[in-house]
């Protein structure tokens, strides 16, 4: 059948997926992403292209940004939990209404 | 009533489009698709306005958004766009749930089910590309996950290398505002046409012969839409959405939006390949569903097994979302674009 061919192709893709797998470079350098760093073959050299004062300021800014991100991520947890619980409640509501059960003929049909 | 002349000279009016639909079309469960479509129209309108102020460049994207939201109206509009996107994902999952619960993928509606699945995946693609367009820490990390996952697929390296580079934000912007909307129309139009041709799916729990006019159904859809998106407008004013600082490479400190958190949990457990394999498994499950549960009807044991399996999977997914929300972010990637 046609759909069997489709499933076979999909399964082949799943197995071949791992062929391209490679681990990333473990030595990670933290730096701001800009058009210069994104174009550069050697981004590390660009990141180090600062005088001492600028570098100190950049480090302080980075630390401040990281603290903001950490706080925002932490604050978002409550909303995410509420969204997930709301979705669960809504699906339970639909299930109560539409879960398959014995047919009921309406008054006009009876 | 306005009327037009057809080629054959017979006059027909707008009233002729007001065809009969089953009475249960007035219920919320059978109006969710329409309410979702209404939300997409709102997203298109607010998206066009925001695009007028957006700079699709690596250096300019986030700044143009910050500039836009410095005005209270801009802040509200962007928040409304984002909250509406959240609600659409929420509603489309409810729509999917109603279809599965009532077995509306069976028989002649099988083909339309496939269009619906394509629309479901497109909705998630919209949500994902929208997240990356902010080009803040969250957007950048989401983008890198996509790039590294794409590189796992054969020939994916070519696609990934095309997406990387100085034009990355422009390419994401074109995908979000042009390619995906065109694909959406490509699948939405046959979805609506087939719905008209096949008729509204029956409610297996209540067989009724009563009919109402489609205009009455549309009135209900508009009513539900105004109530829901009115509340979304309130949420947007009360809880404006944020833009993270950054982006910084070499560090992974955010988590994806809630709709992708179950994938994030699987990535924690099984590695980056889970981002490719899990959606394929879900897609496969949806594709074979009408074949394993079709002829027996919505009252059958097979359908009950499908429904309870679906509810169990949904329960696990929601459990994973909550688990990831409550645990600290995990570093998965190399996090360098070069």
Distances (CA, A) of B58 to A29, A36, B152, B210, B270: 19, 9, 25, 58, 31
Query: In A19-96, which ranges are E strands?
Result: 31-32
> Measured between CB atoms, which of A19, A30, A88 is closest to B248?
A30
Q: How far is A84 from chain B (nearest CA, A)?
A: 6
Is the previous residue joined to B97 through a cis bond, with omega within 30 degrees of 0?
A: no
Asked which of A28-37, B71-80, B120-129, B280-289 is least confident by mean pLDDT, the reply is A28-37
Task: For residue A14, list chain B residues with Cβ-Cβ distance below 8 A.
Answer: 277, 280
Q: Could you list the beta-strand ranges (E) of B41-95.
A: none
- Domain membership of residue A84 (yes or no) is yes
Question: What residues of chain A, 48 to 107, have a C-beta less than 8 Å from chain B?
Answer: 62, 64-66, 68-70, 72-73, 76-77, 79-81, 83-88, 90-91, 94-95, 97-106
Q: Is pLDDT above 70 for A42? A: no
Whether B249 and A98 lie within 8 Å, measured CB to CB: no
What is the percentage of chain B residues whose pLDDT exceeds 70?
Answer: 93
CB of A4 within 8 Å of any CB in chain B? no
Of the residues A100, A104, A108, A109, the best mutation for testing chain B's interface (the one with the most B CB atoms within 10 Å of its CB) is: A100
pLDDT confidence bin for A48, thresholds 50/70/90: very low
Cα distances from A86 to residues A21, A83, B228, in angstroms, run 37, 5, 14
**For residue A36, is it within any domain?**
no
The Cα B5–Cα B103 span in angstroms is: 41
pLDDT digits (tens, 9 = 90+) for B43-54: 999 999 999 999
Q: Which two tokens stand for residue B3?
A: 């009327």
CA dist., res. B90 & res. B124, Å (int)? 11
Q: Do B205 and A103 touch (CB under 8 A)?
A: yes
- Structural domain of residue A84, as residue ranges? 75-99
CA dist., res. B109 & res. B190, Å (int) = 12
Residue B237 CA to residue B80 CA, distance in Å, equals 8
pLDDT above 80 (res B194): yes
Rounded to an integer, what distance in angstroms lies between the CA atom of residue A74 and that of residue A78? 8
Confidence band, pLDDT 50/70/90 cuts, at residue A102: low
Q: Residue A45: its pLDDT value, please?
A: 43
Q: Given an 8 Å threshold on Cβ–Cβ distance, is A105 in contact with B207?
A: yes
Residues of chain A in contact with residue B321, where contact means CB-CB under 8 angstroms, are 80, 83-84
* Pair of tokens at residue A15: 């197995």
Residue A65 · residue B245 · CB < 8 Å? yes
**B101:A100 CB<8 A:** yes
My answer on whether omega of the bond before B200 falls inside 30° of 0, hence cis, is no
Model confidence band, residue B34 (pLDDT cutoffs 50, 70, 90): very high
Residue A98 CA, chain-centre distance (Å), reads 32
Q: Which single residue is written with the structure tokens 């909550």?
A: B322
Q: Mean per-residue pLDDT for B197-222?
A: 86
Q: How confident is the model at residue B56 (pLDDT cuts 50, 70, 90)?
A: very high
Contact flag B311-A109 (C-beta cutoff 8 Å): no
If you search the block for the tokens 């979702």, which residue do you land on? Answer: B36
- Indicate the number of domains in chain A: 1
Contact between chains at A98 and B205 (C-beta distance less than 8 A): yes
Average pLDDT over residues A32-59: 63
Those residues whose C-beta lies under 8 Å from the C-beta of residue B36, and which sit 6 or more positions away, are: B88, B91, B92, B95
Structure confidence at residue B108 (pLDDT): 86
pLDDT 10s digits, B57-73: 998 999 999 999 999 99
pLDDT 10s digits, B107-138: 888 899 999 999 999 999 999 999 999 999 99
Chain-chain contact of B277 with A14 (C-beta, under 8 angstroms): yes
Q: Is residue A83 part of a domain?
A: yes
**Alpha-carbon distance A87 to B88, whole Å?**
12
DSSP B79: H
**What are the residues whose beta carbons fall under 8 Å from the beta carbon of B334, sequence distance 6 or more?**
A24, A25, A28, B148
Per-residue model confidence (pLDDT) at position A11: 63
Q: Are the C-beta atoms of residues A34 and B211 closer than 8 Å to each other?
A: no
β-bridge mates for residue B13, sequence order: B3
Nearest to A97 among B29, B168, B277 (CB): B29
CA distance B186 to A84: 31
Using only the alpha carbons of chain B, give its radius of gyration. Answer: 22
Contacts of B237 (CB under 8 A, 6+ apart): B76, B79
Shortest CA distance from A72: residue in chain B? B244
Q: How many CB atoms lie within 10 A of CB A23?
A: 8
Residue A109 placed within a domain: no
Residue with the bigger pLDDT between B187 and B250: it is B187
At residue A25, the pLDDT reads: 46
Q: Average model confidence (pLDDT) for chain A?
A: 70
Sign of CA dihedral B315, B318, B320, B322: negative
Among B47-56, B272-281, B295-304, which is the least confidently predicted range? B295-304
* In chain B, beta strands by DSSP E: 3-5, 11-13, 20-22, 206-207, 211-213, 248-249
Is a pLDDT exceeding 90 seen at residue B298? no
CA–CA separation, B216 and B197 (whole Å):
19
CA distance B101 to B204: 9
Confidence of residue B199 (pLDDT cuts 50, 70, 90): confident
Q: By percentage, how much of chain B surpasses pLDDT 90?
A: 56
Q: Choose the weakest-confidence range: A46-50, B74-78, B168-172, B312-316.
A: A46-50
When CB atoms are compared, the residue of A13, A91, A103 closest to B94 is A91
Predicted confidence (pLDDT) at residue B335 exceeds the cutoff of 70: no
Looking at domain B18-254, its CATH class is mainly alpha
Cβ atoms of residues B288 and A7 within 8 Å: yes
Nearest Cα residue in chain A from B337: A38
Has residue B3 got a pLDDT over 60?
no
In eight-state DSSP terms, residue B241 is P
pLDDT at B74: 95
Strand partners, B144: none
Question: Hey, are the CB atoms on B209 and A109 less than 8 Å from each other?
Answer: yes
Mean pLDDT of chain B: 88
Q: What is the mean pLDDT of residues B211-222?
A: 91
Whether pLDDT at B211 is above 90: no
CA-based nearest residue to B245, from B331, B136, B98, B330: B136
In this predicted model, which residue has the larger pLDDT, B336 or B14?
B14
The average pLDDT across B164-186 equals: 93
pLDDT given for residue B152 in this prediction:
85
**Residue A109 · residue B22 · CB < 8 Å:** no
Question: Which residues, other chains included, contact B19 with Cβ-Cβ below 8 Å and sequence gap of 6+?
Answer: B213, B214
Give B280's contacts in chain A (Cβ within 8 Å): 10, 13-14
Task: Please give the residue of chain B at the shortest CA–CA distance from A102.
Answer: B205
Chain A residue whose CA is closest to B300: A100
Question: In this predicted structure, which of A40-54, A81-95, B63-77, B174-188 has the lowest mean pLDDT?
Answer: A40-54
CB contact under 8 A, A32 and B248: yes
Provide the pLDDT for residue B11: 67
Q: Is A33 on the interface with B (CB under 8 A)?
A: yes
Nearest residue on chain B to A4, alpha-carbon basis: B288
Distance from CA of A55 to the nearest CA of B (A): 15
pLDDT value at residue B150: 87
């Amino acid at each position: 059948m046609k759909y069997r061919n489709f499933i076979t192709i999909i399964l082949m893709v799943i197995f071949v997926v791992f062929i391209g797998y490679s681990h990333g470079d473990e030595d990670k350098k933290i730096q701001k992403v800009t058009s210069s760093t994104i174009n550069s073959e050697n981004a590390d050299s660009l990141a180090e292209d600062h005088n001492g004062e600028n570098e100190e300021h950049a480090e302080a800014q980075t630390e401040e940004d990281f603290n903001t991100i950490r706080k925002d991520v932490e604050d978002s947890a409550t909303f995410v939990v509420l969204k997930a619980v709301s979705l669960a409640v809504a699906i339970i509501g639909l299930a109560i209404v539409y879960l398959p059960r014995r047919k009921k003929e309406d008054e006009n049909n009876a | 009533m306005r009327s037009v002349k057809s080629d054959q000279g017979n006059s027909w009016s707008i009233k002729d489009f007001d065809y009969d639909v089953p009475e249960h079309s007035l219920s919320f469960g059978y109006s969710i698709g329409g309410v979702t479509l209404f939300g997409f129209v709102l997203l298109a309108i607010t998206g066009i306005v925001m695009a007028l102020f957006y700079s699709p460049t690596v250096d300019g994207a986030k700044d143009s958004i910050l500039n836009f939201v410095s005005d209270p109206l801009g802040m509200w509009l962007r928040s409304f766009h984002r909250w509406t996107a959240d609600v659409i994902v929420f509603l489309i999952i409810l729509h999917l749930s109603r279809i599965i619960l009532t077995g509306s993928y069976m028989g002649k509606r099988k083909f339309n089910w496939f269009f619906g699945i394509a629309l479901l995946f497109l909705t998630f693609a919209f949500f994902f590309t929208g997240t990356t367009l902010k080009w803040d820490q969250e957007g950048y990390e989401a983008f890198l996950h996509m790039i590294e996952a794409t590189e796992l697929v054969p020939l994916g390296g070519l696609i990934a290398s095309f997406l990387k580079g100085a034009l990355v934000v422009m390419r994401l912007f074109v995908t979000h505002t042009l390619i995906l909307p065109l694909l959406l129309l490509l699948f939405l139009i046959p979805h609506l046409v087939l719905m008209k041709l096949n008729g509204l799916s029956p409610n297996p729990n209540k067989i009724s012969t009563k009919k109402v006019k489609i205009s009455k159904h549309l009135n209900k859809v508009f009513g539900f839409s105004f109530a829901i998106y009115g509340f979304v407008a309130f949420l947007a004013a009360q809880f404006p959405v944020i833009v993270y600082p950054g982006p910084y490479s070499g560090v992974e400190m955010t988590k994806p939006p809630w709709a992708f958190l179950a994938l994030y949990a699987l990535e924690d457990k099984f590695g980056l390949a889970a981002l490719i394999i899990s959606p394929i498994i879900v897609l496969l499950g949806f594709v074979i569903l009408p074949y394993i549960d079709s002829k027996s009807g919505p009252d059958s044991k097979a359908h009950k097994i499908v429904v309870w399996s679906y509810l169990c999977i949904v329960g696990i997914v929601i459990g994973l979302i909550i688990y990831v929300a409550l645990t600290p972010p995990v570093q998965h990637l190399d996090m360098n674009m070069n």
